[in-house]
Amino acid sequence: MNKPVALITGASVGIGEQFARQLSERGRDVVLVARDAARLEVLAKEIDGLGGGRAEVLAADLTDPQQLGAVEARARTVDILVNNAGFGSFGPFHTLDVETEIREINLNVIALVRLTHAAASAMAERGRGGILNVSSLAGFQPGPSNATYGATKAFVTSFTEAVHEELKGTGVSVTALCPGFTHTEFQTRASVPASEVPGFMWQDAPEVARAGLEGLAKNRAIVIPGGLNKVMGNFSMVTPHAITRRVGAMVLKRAAN
Ligand SMILES: NC(=O)c1ccc[n+]([C@@H]2O[C@H](COP(=O)([O-])OP(=O)(O)OC[C@H]3O[C@@H](n4cnc5c(N)ncnc54)[C@H](OP(=O)(O)O)[C@@H]3O)[C@@H](O)[C@H]2O)c1
């Protein structure tokens, strides 16, 4: 029998690299997707055979429709899909480059929807499979200075919860992972003033990835890794946006000054 195959987007670094390592350790064949082929090759060499599975590189820019199409085709054949690739932007929306904001929507939302559709339709037909969509705590409330990013993650959480419910009883698990601040390249890439965020608010990528995979194995609709993140996420879920958006604006203003 063929080994189960997992496809991970954004696998070159950060949380995605941890998904790739942990799935490989569990004996899966892994398909590694990101733009930086050289970085993926280094990782693939390192983890190939870790738990007995193979590591394959599929370099692609998921904001390019043609390259995304090639990854969609591969996603139809896998047992686990981890939609992890994503990026953020920081600052008042009207001051940011609109093309970057659109690329952010294309990666965080459009690519995730297309890949979920490709994988979910094939998995439902086979009667088994798992899809883990990486969202964020930022999706639980409007995020001033983080407007597009927060909105993309609100979409990812809502969309994933709905598909989770639709696929109940089909053998296909669907989970949204909603991390808080996690040590990766994310903050540098997004120009987030991360040094202002107190140490106790941070998690490391391995524990975040582990929580996501455990949640998917139990077919949880939403996973919030970490005790403090759970408290913050639950607070945001039950508090009116009129309050959480103001609190968010105050916190981010302080961080930016
Ligand atoms: N770190 C946090 O604090 C945090 C908190 C909550 C949620 N998240 C979410 O966690 C996920 C992973 O982020 P991370 O923190 O691990 O960030 P990261 O270290 O910046 O990694 C992002 C990954 O996405 C890939 N990527 C970026 N643009 C891409 C594109 N156009 N096409 C294909 N791949 C692309 C990157 O590789 P290439 O550059 O080689 O393409 C990289 O592998 C994201 O969805 C993020 O929104 C992160």
CATH number for position 135: 3.40.50.720
Which amino acid appears at position 47 of this protein? I
Give the pLDDT score at 2.
67
Cα–Cα distance measured from residue 68 to residue 233, given in angstroms and rounded to the nearest whole number: 31
Q: What pLDDT, in 10s, does the model give residues 65-80?
A: 999 999 999 999 999 9
Overall domain count for the chain: 1
Look at ligand 1, atom 46, and give the residue with the nearest C-alpha: 86
Q: What pLDDT, in 10s, does the model give residues 198-223?
A: 899 999 999 999 999 999 999 999 99
Q: What pLDDT, in 10s, does the model give residues 93-124?
A: 999 999 999 999 999 999 999 999 999 999 99
pLDDT tier at 255, thresholds 50, 70, 90: low
Is pLDDT of 256 > 70?
A: no
Is pLDDT of 249 > 70?
A: yes
| 181 CA closest ligand 1 atom index | 3
Q: What range does the domain containing 38 cover?
A: 5-256
The answer, yes or no, to whether any atom of ligand 1 lies below 6 A from the CB of 107, is yes
Report the chain's mean pLDDT, rounded to a whole number. Answer: 95
Look at ligand 1, atom 42, and give the residue with the nearest C-alpha: 10
Q: How far is the CA of 84 from the centre of ligand 1 (A)?
A: 7
Q: Which residue has the higher pLDDT, 223 or 255?
A: 223
pLDDT tier at 250, thresholds 50, 70, 90: confident
Q: How far is the CA of 169 from the centre of ligand 1 (A)?
A: 31
pTM score, whole prediction: 0.97
| 15 CA closest ligand 1 atom index | 16
In sequence order, which residues have a C-beta less than 8 Å from that of residue 1 and are 6 or more positions away? none
Cα–Cα distance measured from residue 251 to residue 187, given in angstroms and rounded to the nearest whole number: 16
Q: Decide if 207 contacts 104 (C-beta within 8 A).
A: no
Instruction: Tell how strand 182-183 and strand 222-223 pair up.
Output: unpaired
Q: Decide if 229 contacts 203 (C-beta within 8 A).
A: yes
Label each residue of the chain as H, E or C.
Answer: CCCCEEEEECCCCHHHHHHHHHHHHCCCEEEEEECCHHHHHHHHHHHCCCCCCCEEEEECCCCCHHHHHHHHHHHCCCCEEEECCCCCCCCCHHHCCHHHHHHHHHHHHHHHHHHHHHHHHHHHHHCCEEEEEECCHHHHCCCCCCHHHHHHHHHHHHHHHHHHHHCCCCCEEEEEECCCCEECCHHHHHCCCHHHCCHHHCEEHHHHHHHHHHHHHCCCCEECCCHHHHHHHHHHHHCCHHHHHHHHHHHHHHHHC
Q: What pLDDT, in 10s, does the model give residues 155-182?
A: 999 999 999 999 999 999 999 999 999 9
Q: How far is the CA of 122 from the centre of ligand 1 (A)?
A: 26
| 149 catalytic per annotation | yes
Q: What pLDDT, in 10s, does the model give residues 8-47?
A: 999 999 999 999 999 999 999 999 999 999 999 999 999 9
Give the pLDDT score at 196.
83
Give the pLDDT score at 195.
85
| 83 CA closest ligand 1 atom index | 45
The answer, yes or no, to whether any atom of ligand 1 lies below 6 A from the CB of 10, is yes
Give the pLDDT score at 97.
98
